[in-house]
Amino acid sequence: ADMVILDDFAARSEGMRLGLNVKGTLGIIKKLMEIKKIDVNIQQLHFNLKKIDFRVKDSIFLGIFREHT
């Protein structure tokens, strides 16, 4: 595989320790936005992720999408 998609902190850390190319859900969404495959309202995405109990610190979320806010 070219990459693995992991969101859990411990799993991401272990994947990186093993030398895997690790991406998270937010990284995939950002990449799809950059290559114009999807159009996302960042504030709505943040709200919806919180609603489904997707756990990410606000500072991390905003750091990932800072140029889109």
Helix (H) or strand (E) holding 16: helix 9-17
**In tens digits, what is the pLDDT along the chain, a chain of 69 residues?**
689 999 999 999 999 999 999 999 999 999 999 999 999 999 999 999 999 999 999 999 999 999 876
- pLDDT value at residue 69: 63
CB 37: neighbour CB atoms within 10 A?
9
pTM summary value: 0.83
Q: Report the distance separating Cα 5 and Cα 3, nearest Å.
A: 7
- pLDDT value at residue 63: 95
- pLDDT value at residue 19: 95
